Amino acid sequence: MNILLLGSGGREDALAWRLRQSPSCERLIAAPGNPGIARWAECLELDPCDPAAVTALAKQRGVDLVVIGPEAPLVAGVGDALRAAGFAVFGPNAAAAQLEGSKGFTKDLCAANAIPTAGYVRVETAAAAHDTLKQFGIPVVIKADGLAAGKGVTVAMSREEAETAIDAAGDGPMVIEEFLSGEEASLFALVDGETAVSLASAQDHKRVGEGDTGPNTGGMGAYSPAPVLTPELEQRAMDEIVRPTVRALAEGGTPFSGVLYAGLMLTAEGPKLIEYNVRFGDPECEAIMPRIEGDFAELLLGVATGLLPEQRPKLSDSHALTVIVAAAGYPGAPASGGAIKQIEAAEQVQGVTVFHAGTARSGGSLVAKGGRVLAVTAVADTFANARARAYRAVDQIDFADGFHRKDIGWRELQRAETVTSE
Ligand code: AMP
């Protein structure tokens, strides 16, 4: 297969790395790619959100499969344009991408199909939001509608904080919802329009600071699997949340095709949906790819062509953990242009791959370009070994402007301690 991959982050570097290892992948093109992806693919300058430009490139290069990494091209209708031109696409059309693009759309779909999620009210104006707030207890969650990369969400611990969040959201549509308590975990399912199979679980760390403190980021680290999502809970999430969603979209004439990422709260009553994303998580993808066995490109082609096998894709029993190395200032304005060295030394650590999230070539050297710069991933037979390898690798990297969280996976460590001390 001749494969075109859209995107330029750490997620796409991990996808490219895994696709490149697939026996069925003959040629891999990435647009726009990054210096890490350039190790596995031919990178071409192109706006991945321009449906006409992407379709023209796919035609010109005789592409057999297009894999769309980030959400923006999906919401922009790049999948629709490619499908209309006859291409096999991994990633949903714009209508199904609303699962991520519109929180209101997802909440209404849950309500109509009895999918467990937090109770909510959709409002169209700030005035209505203030009024509706009275019906809710505290804590309460305020979500601005639209794509906000996690930034449009406030978990308000007081009424005052909730009022402030409503004002800050502006006078647009919002969702006000009940606070769910429990532990969060993510479930990634492959969906070919009708068939949905569970691929992997993961947990991430959204806050910038150790102990999960400070502002939200795109994610500072992740690991897969997430043992807290036991096989029983995973089965429930597939049966009660993912499959009814897939069915509802298919019946509504907007079938979902691609990877459906369910952000779950594991409550006392069982898994409840917090949100959907319509693509792989970043950095969860970096921790999932090393665990996938078999021909990944063929698996994605099956998803894209409606021929996904009913049985679960084969994953190794290994554990993988990713530590993000970010540039100073992130998630605010990150320091740009800092030199990065010794990636090769980091990759000498057994089981380690260093994915590029935000790098550029300047002259002959590698420099930072973006908030999240590297996604250092290690795979091993146990969680503890994967974690140890990842941090050993991070320590090899010479990047003066960089910082990372030292407590990625703390929940698992704590659980391990609990077990040993019993
Ligand atoms: P979202 O963008 O919907 O994933 O929300 C971002 C984060 O806010 C989630 O990862 C949760 O940590 C938190 N959150 C969202 N909705 C709720 C809820 N109903 N109850 C508790 N926490 C929530």
Put residue 170 in one of left, alpha, beta given phi > 0 → left and psi -120 to 50 → alpha.
Answer: left
- Give the pLDDT confidence score for residue 420 in this predicted structure: 65
pLDDT band at 252 (very low <50, low <70, confident <90, very high): very high
Query: CB under 6 Å to ligand 1: residues?
Result: 118, 141, 143, 150, 153, 155, 177-180, 184, 263, 274-275
Residues 67-86 have pLDDT tens digits of 999 999 999 999 999 999 99
Question: CA–CA separation, 271 vs 298, rounded Å?
Answer: 31
The share of the chain scoring above pLDDT 70, in percent, equals: 98
Atom of ligand 1 nearest to the CA of 181: 21
CA of 133 to the centre of ligand 1 (A): 17
Mean pLDDT value across the chain: 95
Inter-residue contact 66 to 212 (CB < 8 Å): no
Residue 307 pLDDT more than 60?
Answer: yes
Pick the residue whose CA is nearest to atom 6 on ligand 1: 150
Residue 110 pLDDT more than 60?
Answer: yes
Q: At what angle do helices 103-112 and 94-101 cross, to 10 degrees?
A: 100
Inter-residue contact 354 to 375 (CB < 8 Å): yes
Enter the DSSP assignment of 238: I
Residue 124 pLDDT more than 70?
Answer: yes
Residue 254 pLDDT more than 70?
Answer: yes
| Residue of 120, 261, 275, 411 best suited for mutating to test ligand 1, as the one with most atoms within 8 Å of CB | 275
DSSP calls for 320-348: EEEEEEEETTTTSS---S-B-B-HHHHHT
Which residue, among 261, 378, 229, 390, has the nearest Cα to 318 in the 3D structure? Answer: 378
Mean pLDDT of 384-403: 98
pLDDT band at 418 (very low <50, low <70, confident <90, very high): confident
Q: What are phi and psi of 171, to 5 degrees?
A: -95, 45
pLDDT band at 147 (very low <50, low <70, confident <90, very high): low
| Residue of 145, 180, 274 best suited for mutating to test ligand 1, as the one with most atoms within 8 Å of CB | 274
Query: Cα dist. 239→107, 242, 254, 276, 279 in Å?
Result: 18, 6, 20, 16, 20
- Give the pLDDT confidence score for residue 171 in this predicted structure: 83
Residue pointed to by tokens 């029993």: 317
Inter-residue contact 218 to 330 (CB < 8 Å): no
Strand, coil or helix: what is 82? helix
Question: Per the structure block, which two tokens stand in for 40?
Answer: 């596995």
What residues have CB less than 8 Å from 230, skipping those under 6 apart? none
Residue 149 pLDDT more than 50?
Answer: no
pLDDT band at 416 (very low <50, low <70, confident <90, very high): confident
Residue 408 pLDDT more than 70?
Answer: yes
Mean pLDDT of 405-414: 95
Question: CA–CA separation, 295 vs 65, rounded Å?
Answer: 14
- Give the pLDDT confidence score for residue 92 in this predicted structure: 98
